[in-house]
Amino acid sequence: MDSEVIISSIGGFGRYQKIQLAIFSVPWLGGGLQLALAIFILRVPAFRCAIPGWENDTYKVQSDTHAWYINHSLPSDNRKCKVYQFNYSDFNDWNTSKEVNCHAWVYDKSSVPSTAASDLNLVCHRTVFISTINMLLMAGVFVGSLFFGTFSDQKGRKLSLYLALLLSIVTVLPLYFVGSFEALATLRFFAGSSGASIFMVAFILAIEIVPHSHRSLVGLFSHIAFATGQIAMAGIAYLIRDWHLLCLAASLIFLPFFLYWFIIDESPRWLISNSKVEEAKDLFEKIAKRNKAVFTPSSLQQSQETTPQIMDQTKPAQKVSLFHLFKSRVLLIRCAIISFNWIVVNMVFFGLLFGIGELGLNIYFSTFLFAAVEFPAYVFLYFTLDRWGRKPLYCSLILLCGVACVSSSFVYVWGKDLFGLTIFLALIGKFSVSGASTVISNIASEILPTVIRNAAFGLCSCLGRLGGMSAPYITLLSNYIPTEFGKSLPLILFGVAALVAGFLSLALPETLGENLPDTIEDGEKFGR
């Protein structure tokens, strides 16, 4: 049974598919909210060391006396992390020849009353904990992609998506009560696990209910919804400055997920691949009715005439697992290339995201700007993806990203008076890597065969998250290498990696206009 032919014969991209995409847009938007949430709850307000022995010290100068003690207890060149050695027996006895690390800080509360970073004192030698939290978010994405990818191939897309939706609810709501680094890190790990799984499974489910002529539209729509979530979070964070209340507000979008079991359907492709033919027929009839089309035995006859091998309803489907991927040299090489490209795309995407605060712009405006630049990228893809092809478009975008990152690194360090050019090049990098992220998702979902698509897609996706996990630490390199080269090193690494990925992707086949491969054999013959 060729589900591609049947879907086209019962309305193609009809009312049913449009309603399902609208339903999927909510969790996709929620994923963007959760990603941008990290920017605001982990932002570090202006701060300095607290004056030793001064009770009720504040960042704001209280009096001339307070100003005098600030100037005499803290080094003028490093008031954030160092304090002069203090003799506690004499409040006025300061040893200005010796600086020591401080262990208490005061924060500027004029913009926000507090953030998770200020409440947990994630500054100075503890700054690495911010990167660790973001790394654990990406680690959760890694684990979730692998687990839910395999689970959805074995137990179905619908059950996998619903469990991931439930996990997102129980990991977002408790953020309101977080009071320790360990609790915050744990919840962000599971938030990453559920968020990535929701996006991945919903994406796979969406492309398996539309004809191949509309698969690129699904990819664009999912990323537009994701970017919309980031923009929405910038607006919500601007209105709600308390980070606990911000987390609570962000969690409200996840509450309707309890109802999703009753409004989403299983993938017809998955049903057919697992010999659930009668259930697939019932679903096709439902789709046809919603699309005001007719599903008849002639639809089956037409599909069988175009399919070399007809599934025997009485014969159990052969169990195929991710292990079969490693037995196919062709699929393994393609999966490795996709994985490396995904690593680079995620590394650059999240590296630019986590580095927004270093650009010197208002945090709310910069978050909005760097999310909004994704929209023209997706509009550009809408008009070119089905005309130029996946491979040439992806190669062009990832290479442009590499050039933009390398160029911006030189301008950022040696052209400090060209602030506008730095922002422009950074936006070009975000524009191109956002487009590349969409195209690589399409390529991966179209190259991999149905019997292992979700597991293999999840494997490539979770390996790609290694790039996201490394991004927070790469952005910290400029703090540990106090030279002009050190400041530009993260951007140089991002750019060089993007250039290498672009050249490797030339080995992938074009997928434009091709039917999705269903079996391992189909996958090996694909593009050859």
Alpha carbons 28 and 202: distance in angstroms, whole number: 8
Q: Do 79 and 122 fall within a single domain?
A: no
Which of residues 225, 247, 264 is at a domain's end? 264
346 and 358 co-located in one domain? yes
Judgement on whether residues 32 and 77 belong to the same structural domain of the protein: no
Please state, in angstroms and rounded to a whole number, the distance separating the CA atoms of residues 408 and 424.
Answer: 9
Secondary structure letter of residue 255 according to DSSP: G
Q: Give domain status of residue 310, yes or no.
A: no
Specify whether 403 is located in the same domain as 453. yes
The answer to whether residue 506 sits within a structural domain is yes
Residue 299 in domain:
no
Instruction: Provide the Cα torsion 300, 302, 305, 306; round to 10°.
Output: -100
Q: Is residue 445 part of a domain?
A: yes
**Which string of DSSP letters, residue by residue, matches 157-172?**
HHHHHHHHHHHHHHHH
Measured between alpha carbons, how far is 13 from 336 in angstroms, rounded to an integer? Answer: 32
Q: What is the pLDDT along the chain (528 residues), one digit of tens a residue?
A: 567 778 888 888 888 889 989 988 888 888 888 888 888 999 889 999 998 878 889 999 989 988 988 888 888 778 888 888 766 555 556 666 678 888 899 999 988 998 999 999 999 888 899 989 989 988 888 888 778 878 888 888 888 888 888 888 888 888 888 889 999 999 999 988 888 888 888 888 888 888 877 877 887 888 889 899 999 999 999 999 999 899 888 888 777 877 888 888 888 888 888 888 888 888 888 888 888 888 775 555 555 454 444 344 434 445 666 777 777 788 888 889 999 999 999 999 988 887 766 666 788 998 999 999 999 998 898 888 888 888 999 999 999 999 998 988 887 777 767 778 888 888 999 999 999 988 898 888 888 887 787 778 878 877 888 898 899 888 888 777 767 777 778 888 999 999 999 999 998 888 787 777 877 887 777 766
> Which residues have CB under 8 Å from 286's CB, separation 6+?
16, 265
Which of 60, 75, 110 terminates a domain? The answer is 110
Residues 334 and 234 in one domain: no
DSSP three-state, residue 413: helix
Residues 390 and 494 in one domain: yes
Same domain, yes or no, for 144 and 246? yes
Which residue reads 């960042």 in tokens?
59
Are 71 and 123 within one domain? Answer: no
Residues 519 and 389 in one domain: yes
- 445 lies in the same domain as 464: yes
Is 68 within the bounds of a domain?
A: yes
Segments in 156-273 forming alpha helices (H): 157-172, 181-207, 215-239, 243-251, 268-273
Residue where the block lists tokens 């997706």: 378
In this structure, is residue 431 part of a structural domain? yes
Give domain status of residue 313, yes or no: no
Give the domain CATH number at 477.
Answer: 1.20.1250.20
Domain-located, residue 40: yes
Q: Which domain holds residue 34?
A: 13-45+111-264
19 Cβ contact list (under 8 Å, min separation 6) = 290
Residue 77 CA to residue 266 CA, distance in Å, equals: 61
Count up the domains in the chain and report the number: 3
